[in-house]
Amino acid sequence: MPMTVRHTGTVLDEIIAGVLEDLHERQVLVEEASLREAIELIEPALDPLPRFAAPGLSVIAEVKRSSPSKGALATIDDPAALADAYHAGGAAAVSVLTERRRFSGSLADLDAVRAAVPIPVLRKDFIVTRYQVLEARAHGADLVLLIVAALSDEDLAELYQLATSLGMTALVEVHTSEEARRAVDVGARLIGVNARNLKTLEVDPGVFGRLVGDLPEDVVKVAESGIRGVDDAVWFHDQGADVVLVGEALVRDGDPTGTLRAITARTTIS
């Protein structure tokens, strides 16, 4: 059954329109039944929450070639090698952009990273259909991103329940107090506050601090976007973040392993 995508005439809508066109091409080639068969043959999904909820700050390190706001960020010829560098630096999980048109990502990148590292892997994309959730698990993803702004309440609940039934963890992304309420209502255990407004692409680092109080104490809180280096990671941790998702700063960094180790050193709870 197709999802009811929320249209508001924004950059987010334009991205999702392209995602759905590309999705149709993949659905022609691979039926849903084939995805379910593949899921039966792979190892169970890894649970990132114990590590994320542990004292200190965890990092989801992202494989990200480009973005709608900045254009090309880095030439990543070997996503597996980058993921391995992240793992060596102590990343708690690796995020892989799989959206093609704006982020130059692919499911092949996801496959390469999954084969390279023993830590949880997040498929980061604009997930608006059941097929995409099944696709994520079939390609070995342990986590899947669900953006509240892109989904109706009914569809958010359906996709969240599907991900959970597959043993996956949903990172439920919010940008406003109303979206935070919707994420809590669906039962999300991992909630990301994105400082980037996906409707305008503007970044407001203060969003996390304003919304963190809307989230239950037992929810694992992720700060997304606007993290330019070690100092920013520490600042978000001080604001109450359990996890930070870092992409651009790491792919442009000549020493991602060292940067990740520095973040850990600055945020370790003794």
Catalogue the active-site residues: 62, 64, 124, 173, 194, 224-225
Q: Which amino acid is at 122?
A: L
Closest CA to 45 of 157, 219, 164, 200: 164
Angle between helix 130-138 and helix 11-29 axes, rounded to 10 deg: 60
Closest CA to 210 of 234, 177, 171: 177
Contact 119, 92 (CB under 8 A): yes
Q: In this structure, what token pair is assigned to residue 166?
A: 């597959």
For residues 245 and 132, give the distance between their C-alpha atoms in angstroms, rounded to a whole number.
Answer: 21
